[in-house]
Structure 1
Amino acid sequence: QTKAELEFLLAWQKKRTKSQEERAGEVLAPIGYWPHIGLLKSHSRYKSNLEHLFFEGRTVLGESCKPENYPATAKLLEGVTRDMRIMEFTVKYHLLRPRPYQLNDKLKPMAQMSTPSFASGHTLWAYIQAFVWSELVPTKRSEFLDLAYEVGESREIMGIHYPSDEEAARILAHQMLTEMLANSVFRADLENAKLEWK
């Protein structure tokens, strides 16, 4: 399977367009909320970190979708992302999968990553966000999921993740949300956030 996926990524490398490279590398790659930065208002990336937290909401719902306008939603997404990051690095450092370009030197990735490959953190982040946003604004579910798919595919375009990294992240995100829905603290935060979208 790994050999087949490496061939798939080599094919992506040959066919990717300049606009795909720019979208993947300049728009989607920098996106991601980091909980430790969110603790320090004095951090140089505090403001951009908060903006990233609402990336999917803003992309689908418009520029007015930002943390200061939806504080309960911000609290919900911060908690979800904190748990997601713990899961992400637990899986990565348990399985220690090499990056594709570490196994095939014909791959010329658009970035070099210092963490293991499986599962894709960007994809896990994108899907768990999409699933939560879909709970808040169900009528936009397809747009949120399409955006999450694009984020995952962008990691393949860049040559830094296998397709199975993306698929595993999508499944893991769904399993995480299922577990979260059984948690009373999460459900309370979710209901408070839903009130902002009535």
Structure 2
Amino acid sequence: MKKIYLLFFFLGLTHLVIAQNTRRVLAPASDHYKSLQAISAAANPQRAWMDTVHYPPAEYGSSFVYMLVKPYYLSDGQVKALSESVKFPANSSDQVRKELDYMLDLQSKRTPEQIKRVEFLGDIGYWPSINMVPSHPSYEENLRNLFFEGRELMGENINAKNFPKISKLLQGVMQDIRIMEFTIKYKLFRPRPYHLEPKLQPLTKINSPSFASGHTLWAFVQAFTWSEVIPERQQDFIALAEEIRRSREIMGIHYPSDNEASRQVSFAMLQYYLKNDAFQNDLKEAVAEWKTVSRKYIR
């Protein structure tokens, strides 16, 4: 009988480990991300002029200052390794040509409702620098944006005031995200899609290089982080992150390869976090807070 109990114990433990590992496995690229990746990323001499195009220095914003900020949970070495782990296809490549054609097709099919939604998503963004100045006119809106994914899925009561431990965790990963985003962007200086394709009519223009997508980076890192806090809602968080990354293509401001690279980097960041004592401690407190406090707001 004792052996049977032990067997059930180890089977249960094995199931738990498998479940945990399954929850943390990055799904392979699918849909147009998968098909586009199969196309040659090498330079095509027939479009050699495209390889002379870089993000215009005249359009740089002030975001490059995040390259001077210290990461929160990541180390400097991890930031460097992650920034060197991805690259974009050559501007003249067949892959980029197909990406641009795909975006032109999206542009031709944009509806008023779709435009309203993607522009709304485009306005979401948390900036660590604003969080340092409580008197800043955008301070409250900035904290509201920090909780966008939780609030979008579970209501207005999911906010920094009600969940300070989760707020601390999200603030930490968002500091890493901004550093990671602009370290990659200002290493590679990829031109935006509308710099290569004059027929593209973006819904806005961005004053930083294209690769990799910052919106997609924060969308997935937050989705992965929220999934550690509330694992039963993982699919919902991932679905929202997917909507956010695709919105950047509909807007005409990011190539699909920008977005897929950001998804890959996001998952790699999670792997570092899971081995980081400070992250694990903050995560433990965030999970405990959620289990205790959420019952007041989630019915």
Q: TM-score range by the shorter chain?
A: over 0.9
- Within the candidate set 154, 161, 176, 2:247 is matched to 154
Residue 184 of structure 1 pairs with residue 277 of structure 2: yes
Structure 2 residue runs without a partner (length 5+): 1-94, 292-299
- In the alignment, structure 1 residue 52 sits paired with structure 2 residue 141: no
Whether 2:173 is the aligned partner of 1:80: answer yes
Matched, 1:10 2:110: no
Q: Does 1:170 align with 2:258?
A: no
TM (norm. structure 2) is: 0.65
Residue among 186, 193, 200 paired with 1:93: 186
Residue of structure 2 in register with 1:194 after alignment: 287
Residue 131 of structure 2 is matched in structure 1 by 38
Aligned AA for 1:180? Y
Give the aligned residue type for 1:123.
T
1:123 equivalent in structure 2: 216
* Residue 63 of structure 1, CA deviation: 1.4
Q: Runs of 4+ in structure 1 displaced over 2 angstroms? A: none
AA of the residue aligned to 1:16: R
Distance between the aligned counterparts of 1:114 and 1:53, measured in 2? Answer: 22
Among candidates 161, 169, 181, match of residue 68 of structure 1: 161
Question: Could you say what the CA RMSD is over the residues aligned between the two structures, in angstroms?
Answer: 0.6
Query: Number of matched residues?
Result: 197
Secondary structure of the structure 1 residue equivalent to 2:290: coil
Answer 1 or 2: higher relative contact order, Cα 8 Å, separation at least 6. Answer: 1
1:144 and 2:237 equivalent?
yes
Query: What is the alpha-carbon distance in structure 2 between the residues aligned to residue 63 and residue 109 of structure 1?
Result: 31
Unpaired runs of at least 5, structure 1: none
Matching residue of 1:20: 114
Task: Give the letter aligned to residue 42 of structure 1.
Answer: S
Give how far 1:18 is off.
1.0
User: d(CA) in 1 for partners of 2:218 and 2:111?
Assistant: 25
Give 1:61 deviation, angstroms.
1.4
